[in-house]
Amino acid sequence: MIRTALIFSFMMIVFFAQAQELSLMPVPQQVTVNGQKFRVRKDFSIAISGNANDRLYREASRFRKRLAERAVLNMPAWTVDRRNDGSMASLVIKSDHPGTVQLEMEESYSLDVKGDGIRIEAASDIGAIRGLETLFQLLSSDKDGFYFQGVSVKDKPRFAWRGLLLSQPYHFMPLDVIKRMLDAMALVKLNVLHYYISDDQAWTIESKVYPKLHQQASHGEYLTQDQVREMIGYADQRGIRVVPEVDLPGHSTAFLTAFPELASIPRKYQLQDHWGVFDPSVDPTKTRTYEVLDTLLTEVASLFKDNYFHIGGDENNGKDWARSDSIQRFMAKEGLPTTVALQNHFNKKVRDILRRSNKTVVGWDEVLMKVMNSDSARNAFESGRYDQLIHPSVPKDMVIQSWRGMEALLASAKNGYRSILSKGYYIDLVQPTSYHYLNDPYPEMNSEIIPDSEADLNRFESDITRKVKEGKRLLTPEEESLIIGGEATMWTEHVTAETLDSRVWPRTAAIAERLWSPSSVRDVPDMYRRMDRITIQLEWVGSLHIRNRTMMLRRISGQEATGPLEKVVNLIEPVKGYRRNNKGDLTKFSPYTEVVDIAIPDPRELREFNGLIDSVLLPNRSKKLNDLEREAKLWRSNHAQVLSLSASNPNLDPIVHHSASLSDLSSYVEDYVRMRRSSKKPDVAWKAKFKTELDKASAEYAHCDLGVTSALRKLLN
Amino acid sequence: MIRTALIFSFMMIVFFAQAQELSLMPVPQQVTVNGQKFRVRKDFSIAISGNANDRLYREASRFRKRLAERAVLNMPAWTVDRRNDGSMASLVIKSDHPGTVQLEMEESYSLDVKGDGIRIEAASDIGAIRGLETLFQLLSSDKDGFYFQGVSVKDKPRFAWRGLLLSQPYHFMPLDVIKRMLDAMALVKLNVLHYYISDDQAWTIESKVYPKLHQQASHGEYLTQDQVREMIGYADQRGIRVVPEVDLPGHSTAFLTAFPELASIPRKYQLQDHWGVFDPSVDPTKTRTYEVLDTLLTEVASLFKDNYFHIGGDENNGKDWARSDSIQRFMAKEGLPTTVALQNHFNKKVRDILRRSNKTVVGWDEVLMKVMNSDSARNAFESGRYDQLIHPSVPKDMVIQSWRGMEALLASAKNGYRSILSKGYYIDLVQPTSYHYLNDPYPEMNSEIIPDSEADLNRFESDITRKVKEGKRLLTPEEESLIIGGEATMWTEHVTAETLDSRVWPRTAAIAERLWSPSSVRDVPDMYRRMDRITIQLEWVGSLHIRNRTMMLRRISGQEATGPLEKVVNLIEPVKGYRRNNKGDLTKFSPYTEVVDIAIPDPRELREFNGLIDSVLLPNRSKKLNDLEREAKLWRSNHAQVLSLSASNPNLDPIVHHSASLSDLSSYVEDYVRMRRSSKKPDVAWKAKFKTELDKASAEYAHCDLGVTSALRKLLN
């Protein structure tokens, strides 16, 4: 089923060039523009035919409401008249049968917008709902009013699993926050919310079988079972699955706070406030462990109706197991040579429990991989013996979530396991959107990917990259079809309900496109052009990613007018990767209200500046030189205003620092403009001074980088 | 009890002059500034002594969290250590006993901030919580960091009932929206949320005894009983009561949609989508009516734990009663001469039902007043026969909510009824803040009040105003003590969850001050100065009143950069009073996303412009003339940008229109500046042309008024 879908997507002819003036995100498999306009008036009506269910009626009604709000239309009602036979309707939706929100749900649809009517056809209502989102993105206006752009679209997703992970134990997101995430996800056609229930810091849903879990291990922050059901119902309404994860046997301090008797080492267990990997681990040798897990996981499994259940399995460091004599004895007796083998034993037992609830199990790549990043791994890879990389006894129906490197994805596929990719989609690491966007679940596509840190440049990965560059095919089409999708991971150590939106959006829209659109859609400037439009549409469904940043600037400055501060914040970026918590002093109770929390990766203003530098470097760009000169002058005058705003606001220091750098750099930029105008070459001394200034300005300060420096370095050549 | 409190507040010496450099809102009864600073560091700790309850511990913990967020402090935790004996704590709170969140709850407190420590003392934890809010408003910063301003405060409210009404049936506000309202209310010490459950448009809470009410009469938008309890618990935590209102016998279409057999006239009942006063009314002659109401109101009464219960009683137009033969026969038989008398009969029955649930009943002034605004009313007033204005049989414990005019408040007090004032606090009528601020529950204080519409200038009210101006005392101190407070009323016909915040805040902060602070605190410019600071603090507890306006501008314009549009929107105001829905075509399904919904009453920028004109009019203000000239030039250049932004956005037309007016007016302003500089008098022809232009610009357009015109008219003299 999956395989057929993927092959089909490859065969499709993508008329992407014709769609350039459109701003669809994700780009559909096939679009043709017909130049017509369907005018939107307050009598805009919808008729639904076929065997549709309530979900589609509700979404169609919501569509009308959104349309009325955006286009300011005084409609008589938003509901869709069930008696409308479609002969007079503006939009006719035909849906063959009700869909089921599970893996491989039917999401294909066709959409035709002509001057005299709009038609959406889909096998299931879920496909029709995807089509409604595409239609909404076609809403445009001219001097005569609003209209839908005339197109013919045939669309279906490239991958079946397109997810966003939300880690609740780090910073808990209440139901209303999750709802606005789901609305935004639906807008860009994501279809899985990975609800990460438990970790060392908290257990975040109500348990009726073991109430002490939410009572003692949640700081009072959890979803009740009613709220969990409400969340799942809300997601279902948008065609989104909710996959739960109970991370075991490591990352389990919260569980052990309620069940200390099930720990590997007797110790006083209390909720962890710090971030990182900790030793506590469930004792996999006790019968009681499996009795409790059976009761608990069966409860969780019945609450979350999705067929898939994530059992975690990552970063269990094995230290507590090594420390325990009884566990060591158990391993000797059972012939389990390593803690990795013991974890594999544990995983099988947990899987057996969940199989009784009819769940297919998902795990982080540790559950599959015996070894990674070593010489033996490299040898196995080079010699094509992928089976040597993995535990042979892992059941074939298990889904592997690859987060540590491409090798896990390759090994899964080579050994017949389905997998989803998260490596490269770690949006908590505040990388530029382009990085995530170019990161393809098919390794073959990744020759141009930029490594996200030095650690990525390990030999194994560079071998993969080399092979790709050499044009080697790493996976057969059959193996590729086992890669069923990807997930953006929002680990919220440094992210609160206030900053969640701007850490997820709009960047995740680009990941959503990577997972939906044809692999050939990878034009970065065009992605940014469209993202800059989608970002404000995300606001209309409730996302606070723009709004909260301005509020946070007003809070940190204590005043309402923050223009000069905003100017600087939009030219800096948070430090990337794991650099922020370098002193390890950040906790659940730290304030995430600093300048670094307001800054975002690749802000539009910074991208525009980078573009300006690139055009300045082309010959005969005197107009662009003027723009550059004006920008440099602005940096200096803006800095004076920043200084006055920050006089009594010591927490604005990071902005003052980077603003001072901008001000210092501005004279070099003006020098450069002057020299270019007079066709003078910069001398060595000037270059040296400018370089020194750039090096100074490039230094991380208050967990922020000044984004303009890399573009400015181009002026040195 | 109330009387003592009020007399005490009059006796207090208000050191208001000394508090001028503070930005407290509401202003405490007594403040002295000591010039010291308590420095805030990340080890800021709180100790609680006395007989405190969990509520205070939770609020103190929330205080630390807010402090950490605002001042960016990496505290180890926010919780308050129960073992801290206070000897080393930054803030020591002493609370004698747990308070009960009911009318006349104990809210007094004292607060002392010195360089070496902070102390809050209160009889109850609720008073201590009020003190914490005052303390938070003392948070300031200088170049060395954050500190609390050194003060000594003795404080208690002037009125016991300080409320905000939220009408759920017009536009339903989900629980998270209500929670953020409650947080904002707590910040300005409001203590009653009036939850308006039902009207012609909907019934908005779950009923277990009659599920058809929420199933058939809510559009699916209601709070479950769990959510109602959660709301009440959340409010209780902030020291806020929740008073429910079931509006009867009119405003009852939603109720009759579920119970058509209880209607006065047989008719097909369905939820009303339009706004206004409608004929449907409960049949007060049927036994079954009271059986159903007994069951239903007893359920609602048990759900809302407050001792007070609002039974509505307003705007029952009596038409359906007059149309019904059986009701007419009943009236004749029972000796009820008028529909007003029949409503009084109904009210008594409803009150008897609620008395069995130990509730004291509140009603709109119709439940008390036999007659208003007529010659006989005027005669009764002039002759001091206040008893002639009211139904004699209304029980003395009933509380009257006065909304139609001061006479109801006077009549209530003169006849021994307790009352709360809402007339003048109708924030849905988008009046300037100063209007609400100067509107005092004691008529004696209202000589300077500006009438809110022509209708207000009826003879009765002007008689009151005349008497007040003549220095006549209308109420004895005993009578005044029966006026127990006031309520801002947020009727949400034209207000959605998106615009609620900016329709309520920050204006309601001024009403909160009117109801808390001494009556002598009525310096309008100082109120605005403090409101402009409180407005951003309201954001920190979640209010979206600033954020959502910018989002709405981005939506209506379809773009992210909206500076020029914002400039215009901040110089216009929504039309006041009931003028917006003049065509009556607005419904529950209209889009409230227009320019008029983005505009707010007396925006800061408009007030600043008005202030500029006032200073320009003073002699020798050449610098201010320069400012005025710059502003006028800006209007013209801004208009060019508005035109370019609005080319393909027809919904920006209201902004374009008013921007064009500003641009047209700018040349007259420049003329004026030129003439003032050369000490030339404007000639008659110029004045005539300027006046014509002003008249044109003053015309309402798209439900908006151009705010600058009244100040500009001053330049004509």
Instruction: Say how far apart CA B526 and CA B18 lie, in whole Å.
Output: 13
CB-nearest to A555 from B78, B539, B555 is: B539
Range name among A358-367, B1-10, B240-249, B516-525 with the lowest pLDDT average: B1-10
Question: A130: part of which helix (H) or strand (E)?
Answer: helix A125-137
Nearest CA among A131, A189, A136, A123 for reference residue A160 = A189
Amino acid at A630: R
Q: Inter-chain contact B536–A546, Cβ cutoff 8 Å?
A: no
Q: Is there a contact between B164 and B503 (Cβ–Cβ < 8 Å)? A: no
User: Which of B226, B557, B589, B656 has the most A C-beta neighbours within 10 Å, making it the best mutation to test the interface with A?
Assistant: B589
pLDDT value for A25: 98
Query: Per-residue pLDDT averaged across A23-41, rounded?
Result: 97
Query: Per-residue pLDDT averaged across B679-684, rounded?
Result: 93
User: Which of A187, A551, A552, A592 has the most B C-beta neighbours within 10 Å, making it the best mutation to test the interface with B?
Assistant: A551
pLDDT value for B450: 53
pLDDT value for B21: 83
Residues of chain A contacting B229 with CB distance shorter than 8 Å = none
Q: Does residue A12 have a pLDDT over 50? A: no
Q: Inter-chain contact A587–B76, Cβ cutoff 8 Å?
A: yes
Q: Is there a contact between A622 and A673 (Cβ–Cβ < 8 Å)? A: no
Quick one: closest CA in A to B139, which residue? A558
Instruction: Say how far apart CA B587 and CA B610 lie, in whole Å.
Output: 35
Q: Inter-chain contact A589–B532, Cβ cutoff 8 Å?
A: no
Residues of chain B contacting A530 with CB distance shorter than 8 Å = none
Instruction: Say how far apart CA B581 and CA B573 lie, in whole Å.
Output: 15
CB-nearest to B648 from A141, A547, A593 is: A141
Instruction: Say how far apart CA B717 and CA B713 lie, in whole Å.
Output: 8
Q: Inter-chain contact A556–B72, Cβ cutoff 8 Å?
A: yes
Nearest CA among B423, B418, B306 for reference residue B358 = B306
Query: Per-residue pLDDT averaged across B236-248, rounded?
Result: 98
Q: Inter-chain contact A74–B540, Cβ cutoff 8 Å?
A: no
Spatial CB neighbours of A668, under 8 Å, sequence gap ≥ 6: A686, A689, A690, A693, A712, A715
Tokens found for residue B144: 């060395």
Q: Is there a contact between B295 and B210 (Cβ–Cβ < 8 Å)? A: yes
What pLDDT digit, counting tens, does each position of A375-402 carry?
787 788 788 888 888 888 899 999 999 9
pLDDT value for A371: 77
Phi, psi of B350 (to 5 degrees): -65, -40
DSSP per position, B585-632: --BTTS---SHHHH--SS-HHHHHHHHHHHHHHSSS-HHHHHHHHHHH
Tokens found for residue A690: 């400018």
CB-nearest to A589 from B75, B536, B560 is: B75
What pLDDT digit, counting tens, does each position of A345-366 carry?
999 999 999 999 999 999 999 9
Mean pLDDT of chain A: 93
B11: confidence class by pLDDT, cuts 50, 70, 90: very low
DSSP per position, A346-365: HHHHHHHHHHTTT-EEEEEG
Domains of chain B: 30-155 (3.30.379.10), 161-540 (3.20.20.80), 547-716 (no CATH)
A450: confidence class by pLDDT, cuts 50, 70, 90: low
Q: Is there a contact between A367 and A337 (Cβ–Cβ < 8 Å)? A: no
Instruction: Say how far apart CA A163 and CA A165 lie, in whole Å.
Output: 7
Dihedral sign, CA of A579, A583, A589, A593?
A: negative
Classify each residue of B130-144 as buried b or exposed e, where b means 16 or more C-beta atoms within 10 Å of its C-beta.
bbbbbbbbbbbbeee
CA distance B139 to chain A (A): 10
Q: Does residue B456 have a pLDDT over 60? A: no
Residues of chain A contacting B206 with CB distance shorter than 8 Å = none
Say how many residues make up chain A.
717
CA distance A53 to chain B (A): 17
Instruction: Say how far apart CA B447 and CA B549 lie, in whole Å.
Output: 35
Burial class (CB in 10 A: 0-12, 13-18, 19+), B262: buried
Residues of chain B contacting A546 with CB distance shorter than 8 Å = 550-551, 554, 560
Question: B72: part of which helix (H) or strand (E)?
Answer: none
Helical ranges in A12-97 per DSSP H:
54-71
Nearest CA among A189, A302, A274 for reference residue A240 = A189
CA distance A217 to chain B (A): 15
Q: Is there a contact between A636 and A666 (Cβ–Cβ < 8 Å)? A: yes
Q: Is there a contact between B280 and B262 (Cβ–Cβ < 8 Å)? A: no
CA distance A536 to chain B (A): 7
Instruction: Say how far apart CA B165 and CA B157 lie, in whole Å.
Output: 19
Quick one: closest CA in B to A145, which residue? B650
Q: Does residue B697 have a pLDDT over 80? A: yes
Q: Inter-chain contact B536–A555, Cβ cutoff 8 Å?
A: yes
Q: Inter-chain contact B536–A559, Cβ cutoff 8 Å?
A: yes
pLDDT value for A698: 97
Instruction: Say how far apart CA A152 and CA A376 lie, in whole Å.
Output: 52
Classify each residue of B267-278 as buried b or exposed e, where b means 16 or more C-beta atoms within 10 Å of its C-beta.
eebebbeebeeb
User: Which of B41, B141, B219, B655 has the most A C-beta neighbours within 10 Å, making it the best mutation to test the interface with A?
Assistant: B141
- Locus of tokens 């199990």: A361
Instruction: Say how far apart CA A485 and CA A557 lie, in whole Å.
Output: 43
Give how far Cα A167 sits from Cα of A240, A489, A541, Å. Answer: 17, 8, 22
pLDDT value for A18: 37
What's the pTM value of the predicted model, to 2 decimals?
A: 0.94
Q: Is there a contact between B335 and B346 (Cβ–Cβ < 8 Å)? A: no
Instruction: Say how far apart CA A634 and CA A619 lie, in whole Å.
Output: 24
Question: B146: part of which helix (H) or strand (E)?
Answer: strand B145-155
Report helix angle A175-187 to A125-137, nearest 10.
80
Question: B243: part of which helix (H) or strand (E)?
Answer: strand B241-248
CB-nearest to B141 from A72, A589, A649 is: A649
Quick one: closest CA in A to B596, which residue? A72
Tokens found for residue B342: 């029949």
Instruction: Say how far apart CA A307 and CA A280 lie, in whole Å.
Output: 29
What pLDDT digit, counting tens, does each position of A455-490 carry?
454 556 667 777 777 888 889 999 999 999 999 999
Instruction: Say how far apart CA A150 and CA A135 lie, in whole Å.
Output: 10
Q: Which residues pair with B706 in a beta bridge?
A: B572
pLDDT value for A51: 87
Q: Which residues pair with B142 in a beta bridge?
A: B145
Residues of chain B contacting A146 with CB distance shorter than 8 Å = 650
pLDDT value for B7: 34
pLDDT value for A457: 47
pLDDT value for A458: 54
Q: Does residue B682 have a pLDDT over 60? A: yes
* Residue A576 DSSP symbol: P
Burial class (CB in 10 A: 0-12, 13-18, 19+), B532: middle
Quick one: closest CA in B to A219, which residue? B79
Amino acid at B278: F
Range name among A567-571, B174-178, B470-474 with the lowest pLDDT average: B470-474
CB-nearest to B77 from A548, A589, A649 is: A589
CA distance B661 to chain A (A): 20
What pLDDT digit, counting tens, does each position of A87-101 carry?
789 999 999 999 999
CA distance B370 to chain A (A): 39
Report helix angle B175-187 to B524-540, nearest 10.
140
User: Is B380 in a helix, a strand, or coil?
Assistant: helix
Q: Inter-chain contact A74–B593, Cβ cutoff 8 Å?
A: no
* Residue A700 DSSP symbol: -
CB-nearest to B590 from A74, A555, A604 is: A74
Looking at B491-614, which runs of residues are DSSP E strands?
A: 572-574
User: Is B456 in a helix, a strand, or coil?
Assistant: helix
User: Is A485 in a helix, a strand, or coil?
Assistant: strand
Residues of chain A contacting B604 with CB distance shorter than 8 Å = 560
Residues of chain B contacting A143 with CB distance shorter than 8 Å = 647-648, 650
Nearest CA among B514, B356, B481, B314 for reference residue B412 = B481
* Other CB atoms within 10 Å distance of the CB of residue B286: 17
User: Is A498 in a helix, a strand, or coil?
Assistant: coil
Spatial CB neighbours of A243, under 8 Å, sequence gap ≥ 6: A163, A192, A193, A194, A195, A304, A306, A308, A309, A310, A362
Rounded to the nearest 10 degrees, how much is the dihedral formed by the CA atoms of A596, A598, A601, A606? -110
User: Which of B69, B72, B644 has the most A C-beta neighbours within 10 Å, making it the best mutation to test the interface with A?
Assistant: B72
Burial class (CB in 10 A: 0-12, 13-18, 19+), A532: middle
pLDDT value for A98: 95
Burial class (CB in 10 A: 0-12, 13-18, 19+), B451: middle
Residues of chain A contacting B73 with CB distance shorter than 8 Å = 591
Query: pLDDT: is B671 or B473 the higher one?
Result: B671
Residues of chain B contacting A593 with CB distance shorter than 8 Å = 69-70, 72
Residues of chain B contacting A176 with CB distance shorter than 8 Å = 174-176
CA distance B690 to chain A (A): 31
A83: confidence class by pLDDT, cuts 50, 70, 90: confident
Q: Inter-chain contact B585–A74, Cβ cutoff 8 Å?
A: yes
Residue contacts between A and B (CB atoms, under 8 Å): 136
**Cα A379 versus chain centre, distance:** 33
Q: Does residue A13 have a pLDDT over 80? A: no
Q: Does residue B487 have a pLDDT over 80? A: yes
* Residue A28 DSSP symbol: P
pLDDT value for B379: 83
B381: confidence class by pLDDT, cuts 50, 70, 90: confident
What pLDDT digit, counting tens, does each position of A188-235 carry?
999 999 999 999 999 999 999 999 999 999 999 999 999 999 999 999
Instruction: Say how far apart CA A253 and CA A275 lie, in whole Å.
Output: 12
User: Which of A219, A529, A648 has the most B C-beta neighbours within 10 Å, making it the best mutation to test the interface with B?
Assistant: A648
DSSP per position, A546-561: THHHHHHHHHHHTSS-
What pLDDT digit, counting tens, does each position of A620-675 carry?
888 999 999 999 999 999 999 999 999 989 999 999 999 999 999 999 999 999 99
Q: Inter-chain contact A591–B73, Cβ cutoff 8 Å?
A: yes
Residues of chain A contacting B564 with CB distance shorter than 8 Å = none
Q: Inter-chain contact A72–B176, Cβ cutoff 8 Å?
A: no
* Residue B563 DSSP symbol: H
What pLDDT digit, counting tens, does each position of B23-54 carry?
999 999 999 999 999 999 999 999 999 988 99
pLDDT value for B451: 55
User: Which of B39, B69, B595 has the most A C-beta neighbours within 10 Å, making it the best mutation to test the interface with A?
Assistant: B69
User: Which of A41, A58, A536 has the most B C-beta neighbours within 10 Å, making it the best mutation to test the interface with B?
Assistant: A536
Residues of chain A contacting B649 with CB distance shorter than 8 Å = 141
Give the ipTM of the model, two decimals please: 0.93
A114: confidence class by pLDDT, cuts 50, 70, 90: very high
Say how many residues make up chain B.
717
Give how far Cα B406 sits from Cα of B403, B409, B451, B522, B614, Å. Answer: 8, 5, 12, 20, 33
